[in-house]
Structure 1
Amino acid sequence: MGTEVARTNRKRKAGIVGAIVGLAAAGVAAGVATERYLVRRSKNADDPYADEEFGVWAADEELTVTTDDGIDLHVEIVDGPPGEDRPTLVFVHGFCLDMGTFHFQRKYFEGKYRMVIYDQPGHGKSGRLKKGEYTIDSLGAGLRAVLEATCTNEEAVVLVGHSMGGMTIMALAEQMPELFESRVAACVLISTSAGKLDTVTFGFPEVVARFRRPLLPLVGLAGPISSAVIDRGRRASADLAWLLTRRYGFGTTRPSPALVSYVERMNSTTSTEVIARYLRTLYTHSRLLVLGPLQSVPVLLVCGDKDFLTPLDHTYEITSVLPEAELVIVPDAGHVVLLEHADEVNDAMDTFLTKVLQ
């Protein structure tokens, strides 16, 4: 009797497990089907950038700049108008992106200014850190190395930073405040933050968002083997990645599908190992109280009103320390406002630079 009861219980448990597995499989299948349907529907929309050649530019010079910690940075230079005594625009991109973030700014300002654009460590065509974690401090030192290699000691520069690129500029200001009294003519900070990124809810209710915090140390322990597995998973779920990019990078209801795909490609080429080794420095970044050097130069702050990654409140915090900064809030714009609403951002930058560089 006991054996028969045990056998019955095992069958019942097996049936329950089978049902759960079956439901899970059905749920995954339905989720994938829904995901692919949504992507197809989105990509079939009219697209103003369907023929845009994203990531295709001409550079007058390409060079490699090696940082103090041995990382080779890929740098591109676009010459300015001949005979013009204008500052060089130096573009610093954000996390999980690359120099392609400034696609439209590069096109707009070509022929108007000399430009320096580079890939941050672990991103784009630049090298990776051999061991240890990336830090915002080291990114600031990397920016300094790029300036030393591409601009003369007398040449004025305008620093343009998006997201983590803005944090890089803040780190440089903390390390070398004298630059902002002599060589830095102005700063443009787009969709960035001076700290408290560990409080960002990504648009979720706080009761949901708070569960991501205990998981961060686990993500930070990702090694090369587990990262490779995760990266394969990311590629296998490309449609889901596309939808998440649209959700968290953009603010308009129906952004350009080609533009979403372009941003998703930049995201997907950043390995999970690199992402994990950046997380600690991003979540502990705190430079609101050391922004003093930026008070000595004109500053333009740009942010979308639907930015879930570096919300508008973070830009307002910066204005509390830099009350003279010019603030431009772009409606219906997400974290990649400089791509999503390029015309508005370019116009704001052009007007600002024309005014402050007279």
Structure 2
Amino acid sequence: MGRRRRHDQLRGRDQAWCTGPARLRRGGRVSPANRGLIGLGVGLAAAGVATAAGVAAGRVNRDRVARYAALAPEGVYAVVPGKELVVVADDGTPLHVEVDEPTGGADPGKPTIVFSHGYTLSLRSWVLQRKALVEAGYRVVLWDQRSHGESERAPADTATIDQLGRDLHSVIDEVAPEGPLVLVGHSMGGMTMMSLAEQFPELVRDRVVAAAFVATSAGGQNMVTLGFGQFLGRLLGRLGPRFLARLGTRQQLVDTARRVGRDIEDLIVDHYSFASPVSRNTIRYTADMIMGTPLAVMSEFLPSINVHDKRAALKQFNGVETLVLNGSGDLLTPPDHSEAIVQIVPGAEHVVVEEAGHIIMLEHPDVVNEQLLSLVERAERAAAEGIAVSRKPRVRRTVTDLAKRREVAKARKSRRRG
């Protein structure tokens, strides 16, 4: 009798394996063994998809290595900082700062250029701009925002745009306490500049001669859309921090998955960072910055970014030579996100770069360098000639990187011949 009961139990378990999903739909219970097999099936399916995606991504990346390597040759992102130091923020958080000066020293009459990087990036994102501006004779200051790059991990409750504004003030106070300033901020770095203006308006009024807001937003709208529109964007804004926080508790597992799935990671970074062909070197350089940021840090900053609204603070830039720079194909902060800056700051110049994504300074470095140098020169000329910047008409221009188009066409033609 016992053997028969055992046989019936096994038979029932076999039936559960076959009807597990149906039983779940009817509200029935599935044993741990059944759930394990169902999970195994899902896992195998996911692994198959991931493997197929990885193979496809590998093919794309191998083609990219062969085709677009000339767009960013080996060593192009190498740089030796003139000076590295630590600036302690007002709450005691150590911030990593680098300072470059032109050969022979900086002209005291020229402004110091202060760069603030974006969310999940680091000061390394400005590598090509720092080189160009130092070569043009300017002193350059770059810093890693708290919990990013080489700056120290800060308490979670300090991951706010307001705190970043105070951090920028600490950096300026320590390494550029005197003389004219040019502020340049990308994405979250532009928000940091607005926060600085809100909390330290006298600094902007007295010392800032030019400001560049690159791929950023004054706020007042849902920030996290990822190109999916406002409806899905709001959902991402609510769920994103919790999802990242949970993943952050498994950072080691995520890091392992990164090493296995580098090709897929490259495709994702490419899609959301760029809108034109770039080299594999550029994608890996960008991915290492983004994915080098702990997931917990990503989670901590998202809420503050998503409710960011510094439109009132922009009035402090009245009289400051202002550049607003966007990529036409930016999925994270498209050009319309920057319209408020142009409307609020008199005389602001809005430049939209065709075929450019969010990481525009690595995708179209020559165009960005040219625009920044032109901005600084306009500011210097306005100061020398007493030009009232606020009376200048607002200008909006669309720029195409023709030099890069030619390089891409040349690379494609060469690849076909090969």
What TM-score results when the alignment is normalised by the length of structure 1? 0.91
Structure 1 gaps, min length 5: none
Counterpart code for 2:260: A
**Equivalent residue, structure 1, for 2:115:** 91
1:270 corresponds to 2:293:
yes
Choose between structure 1 and 2: higher helix proportion. 2
**Equivalent residue, structure 1, for 2:386:** none
Task: Give the drift of 1:31.
Answer: 2.3
Q: 1:126 aligns with which of 151, 174, 198?
A: 151
1:175 corresponds to 2:181:
no
Q: 2:16 aligns with which of 5, 10, 18?
A: 10
Larger Rg over CA atoms: 2
1:291 corresponds to 2:297:
no
Report the CA distance shift for 1:41/1:213 in structure 2 as closer, same or farther (over 3 A). same
Report the CA distance shift for 1:60/1:83 in structure 2 as closer, same or farther (over 3 A). closer
Task: Give the drift of 1:242.
Answer: 1.1
Counterpart code for 1:95: Y
Counterpart code for 1:64: V
- Classify the secondary structure of the residue corresponding to 2:68: coil
- Classify the secondary structure of the residue corresponding to 2:57: helix
Q: 2:98 aligns with which of 62, 76, 83?
A: 76
1:180–1:296 Cα contact (<8 Å) kept: no
1:250 corresponds to 2:274:
yes
1:327-350 C-alpha deviation (Å, 9 max, x unpaired): 111100001111111111111111
Q: Which runs of structure 2 are paired with 1:290-309 in the superposition (5 Å)?
A: 290-309=313-332
Report the CA distance shift for 1:24/1:63 in structure 2 as closer, same or farther (over 3 A). closer
1:191–1:302 Cα contact (<8 Å) kept: yes
Identity of aligned residues (%): 32
Q: Distance in 2 between matches of 1:53 and 1:99?
A: 17
**Equivalent residue, structure 2, for 1:343:** 366
User: Which deviates more from structure 2 when the two are superposed, residues 226-235 or residues 107-116?
Assistant: 226-235
Task: Give the drift of 1:141.
Answer: 0.6
Counterpart code for 1:28: A
Q: Distance in 2 between matches of 1:245 and 1:23?
A: 24
Counterpart code for 1:244: I
**Equivalent residue, structure 1, for 2:23:** none
**Equivalent residue, structure 1, for 2:385:** none
Report the CA distance shift for 1:68/1:24 in structure 2 as closer, same or farther (over 3 A). same
Report the CA distance shift for 1:60/1:283 in structure 2 as closer, same or farther (over 3 A). same
Report the CA distance shift for 1:243/1:175 in structure 2 as closer, same or farther (over 3 A). same
**Equivalent residue, structure 1, for 2:208:** 184
Counterpart code for 1:43: V
2:248–2:294 Cα contact (<8 Å) kept: no
Task: Give the drift of 1:232.
Answer: 3.4
- Classify the secondary structure of the residue corresponding to 2:145: coil
Q: Distance in 1 between matches of 2:175 and 2:106?
A: 18
**Equivalent residue, structure 1, for 2:140:** 115
Task: Give the drift of 1:22.
Answer: 4.3
**Equivalent residue, structure 1, for 2:69:** 47
Q: Distance in 2 between matches of 1:183 and 1:190?
A: 20
- Classify the secondary structure of the residue corresponding to 1:46: helix
**Equivalent residue, structure 1, for 2:163:** 138
Q: RMSD of the TM alignment (CA)?
A: 2.5
1:163-213 C-alpha deviation (Å, 9 max, x unpaired): 111100000000011112111111111111111463543223556545423
Structure 2 gaps, min length 5: 21-33, 382-418
1:106 corresponds to 2:158:
no
What TM-score results when the alignment is normalised by the length of structure 2? 0.78
**Equivalent residue, structure 2, for 1:318:** 341
Report the CA distance shift for 1:264/1:197 in structure 2 as closer, same or farther (over 3 A). farther
Q: Distance in 2 between matches of 1:261 and 1:239?
A: 10
**Equivalent residue, structure 2, for 1:204:** 228
1:209-236 C-alpha deviation (Å, 9 max, x unpaired): 4542341241364486333433433343
**Equivalent residue, structure 1, for 2:392:** none
Counterpart code for 1:275: M
Q: 1:67 aligns with which of 78, 84, 89?
A: 89
Counterpart code for 2:83: E
- Classify the secondary structure of the residue corresponding to 2:157: coil
Report the CA distance shift for 1:199/1:350 in structure 2 as closer, same or farther (over 3 A). closer
2:222–2:234 Cα contact (<8 Å) kept: no
Report the CA distance shift for 1:209/1:44 in structure 2 as closer, same or farther (over 3 A). farther
Counterpart code for 2:350: L
Report the CA distance shift for 1:205/1:327 in structure 2 as closer, same or farther (over 3 A). closer
Task: Give the drift of 1:24.
Answer: 3.5
1:32 corresponds to 2:57:
no
Count, aligned residues: 356
Q: Distance in 2 between matches of 1:83 and 1:139?
A: 27
Report the CA distance shift for 1:244/1:197 in structure 2 as closer, same or farther (over 3 A). farther
Higher relative contact order (CA 8 A, sep 6+): 1
1:31-76 C-alpha deviation (Å, 9 max, x unpaired): 2222322222222223224434244223332211010122111111
